[in-house]
Structure 1
Amino acid sequence: MKGDQRGEEGPRPRRRQARGERRMVEILDASAGVFARVGYEHATTNAIAAAAGISPGSLYQFFPNKEAIAQALADRFAVQMRAAHEDAFDSIDFASLTFHELLDQVVDPIVAFNLANPGFKAIFARPDMPAGLASAAQPIQAALLGRVEALIASRAPGLPPDERARTARVSVQIFQAMVPMVVAVDEDERPKVIGELKKVLSGYLAPIIG
C-alpha cells in the first residue's frame, strides 16, 4: 500500500511545477502588455497581477518586485530576439543579395519580433532605459551590433574597423528610432511605414554597402 501511495503522490510535484511554470508565463505575458501600455515607470505589480488574473499576493510568490519581473522578461526576450537575429543574419550569403533583398532579409524578421513583443520596445530598446535594466539589455544590443558589423564587413571588406563599428551603431539607432512608429500605426498603414524605414536605412547604408 505504501508503495501504491508513493506512486500516486509521485506525479503531484511535477503537476504543481507545471502549473507554476504556466503561471509564470501568464505573469510575464501580462507584464509585457502592461509595460507596453503604460511604460515601465508607471507599471505597478498590482496592475500586472490584475492583468494576469491573480492577486498581488500570488504574484509575489513568483516575483518579489517589478524589477525581478523585468529581468525575467529580459531573459525571455533575449532568447526570442536571438531567434529573430538568426532568421535575419545567420546562414545568409549577404554578398549574393541585392541591396534591397538584403534590407528585406534583415529588417523584416526583427520588425516582426517587435510587433509580436511590444513590451520589449517599451523597456529594453529605449534611450532612457532605467539604469537597473541596462545590464539586462546589453547582451541583446551587443548581439545585434555584432551581426550588423559582420554584415557590413561582408559587403564592404575594405571598410576600416572603427568606421564599420560606427556604421553599425548608427544603423541600429536609426532602426530603433523608427520601430515605435511601426508598432503604433494601424495595420493598413504599417507596410508603408516599414517601407519608409527601409528608405531611411537605404539612404544611409547604400553609399557604404550598396
Structure 2
Amino acid sequence: MPTSQEQPRRRQSRGERRIAQLLEAAATVFTSTGYTAASTNAIAREAGVSPGTLYQFFPNKEAIAIELGGRLVAEYQAAYGEALAPVDPAIPLEMVVNAIVDQFIDFNCRRPVFFALMHGPDVPGRIAEEHDVLHKTVIDRIQGLLSPFLTDLPAEEITRVAQVCMAVYMAGLELILAREGADREAYVQELKNVLLRYLDPLVGDRLGGTPEQGP
C-alpha cells in the first residue's frame, strides 16, 4: 500500500499534469480565438475536462493567462539568451542575422500563443507589464550584441538601431506566423534580407560584412 508520504506526492503529480493539460488547451484556444474571445468553457472543452475541473485549479480566464504568460516568458528568456549570445567578430554578418532570426522564429512558430497572448489588444495588465520588461531586456541585449561593432556610434544611436531591428522583426513575425510551409520560409528569408541590408552598411567589415564603397 502507498505510504502516507507517497499519497500527497501522487496527488501533487496528478495536479501538475492537469495544470499542464489546461495550460496547453488554453494556448490552443488563445492562439485560435485571441484572449478576449476565449472562455473558460472553451478551454475546458479543449482540455477534455468539465468546467468544474478547470475551476479546481484556476478561478478565471485571467488566472490561466497569467500562469501561461509567466511560463512563456521563461521559455522566451531561455531562447533569447541563446540567440543573443556574444558573437565572434570573424563571423560574417549574414550568418549572425540568419542564426538569430532562425532561433527567434523557431520559438514563435513552436509557441504561437506567445505572440497571440503578448501582443493582443486586451491582455491582462500583469502580462502587458511583463511583456514591456521583456521587450526592454531584449532591446538591451541586441544593443549589447551590436555595441562592440558600432564603436563609432554613440550609445543612443546604437539603441535606436536595436529598436529598429526589433520593430522590423516584429512586423515580419506577424506576416510569418500567418503562413505555412514554403510560403513561410520565403517570408523568413525576406525578413533576413531586410535586416541584413539595414545592418550591413552600419556594421561593415567589423562583423564580417562588406562596407559600402565610395564613388
**Aligned equivalent of 1:104, options 91, 98, 116:** 98
* Shift, 1:162, TM fit: 1.1
* Shift, 1:9, TM fit: 2.6
* Shift, 1:27, TM fit: 1.0
**Aligned equivalent of 1:43, options 38, 44, 47:** 38
Opposite residue 8 of structure 1, the aligned amino acid is T
Q: Report the counterpart of residue 23 of structure 1 in structure 2.
A: 18
Q: Report the counterpart of residue 211 of structure 2 in structure 1.
A: none
TM-score, reference length from structure 1: 0.90
Do structure 1's residue 78 and structure 2's residue 101 form an aligned pair? Answer: no
Q: Report the counterpart of residue 6 of structure 2 in structure 1.
A: 11
* Shift, 1:94, TM fit: 4.1
Q: Report the counterpart of residue 59 of structure 1 in structure 2.
A: 54
Q: Report the counterpart of residue 213 of structure 2 in structure 1.
A: none
Do structure 1's residue 163 and structure 2's residue 144 form an aligned pair? Answer: no
Task: Describe the superposition over 1:52-76 as per-residue Cα deviations: whole angstroms up to 9, x where unpaired.
Answer: 1111111111111111111111111
Do structure 1's residue 118 and structure 2's residue 112 form an aligned pair? Answer: yes
Runs of 4+ residues deviating >3 angstroms: 128-131
Do structure 1's residue 179 and structure 2's residue 173 form an aligned pair? Answer: yes
Counterparts of 2:36 and 2:160, CA distance in 1: 31
Moved more, 197-206 or 43-52: 197-206
Secondary structure of the residue that 2:37 maps to in structure 1?
coil
Counterparts of 2:69 and 2:154, CA distance in 1: 33
**Aligned equivalent of 1:130, options 112, 123, 138:** 123
* Shift, 1:203, TM fit: 2.7
Structure 2 stretches of 5 or more lacking a match? 205-215
Do structure 1's residue 142 and structure 2's residue 129 form an aligned pair? Answer: no
* Shift, 1:151, TM fit: 1.3
Identity %: 36
Counterparts of 2:202 and 2:119, CA distance in 1: 25
Task: Describe the superposition over 1:67-98 as per-residue Cα deviations: whole angstroms up to 9, x where unpaired.
Answer: 111111111111111121122122x4242221
Higher helix share: 1
Opposite residue 70 of structure 2, the aligned amino acid is D
Q: 1:167 to 1:125 in 2, by over 3 A?
A: farther
Do structure 1's residue 207 and structure 2's residue 198 form an aligned pair? Answer: no
Q: 1:183 to 1:58 in 2, by over 3 A?
A: same
Opposite residue 201 of structure 2, the aligned amino acid is P
User: How many residues are matched?
Assistant: 203
Q: Report the counterpart of residue 198 of structure 1 in structure 2.
A: 192
1:125, 1:176 within 8 Å by CA — same for their partners in 2? no
Opposite residue 86 of structure 1, the aligned amino acid is G
Moved more, 28-37 or 7-16: 7-16
Counterparts of 1:143 and 1:162, CA distance in 2: 16
Do structure 1's residue 32 and structure 2's residue 43 form an aligned pair? Answer: no
Secondary structure of the residue that 2:181 maps to in structure 1?
coil
Secondary structure of the residue that 1:185 maps to in structure 2?
coil
Counterparts of 1:122 and 1:159, CA distance in 2: 35
1:35, 1:43 within 8 Å by CA — same for their partners in 2? yes
Structure 1 stretches of 5 or more lacking a match? none
TM-score, reference length from structure 2: 0.88
1:182, 1:194 within 8 Å by CA — same for their partners in 2? yes
Counterparts of 2:100 and 2:148, CA distance in 1: 14
Aligned CA-pair RMSD = 1.7
1:71, 1:136 within 8 Å by CA — same for their partners in 2? no
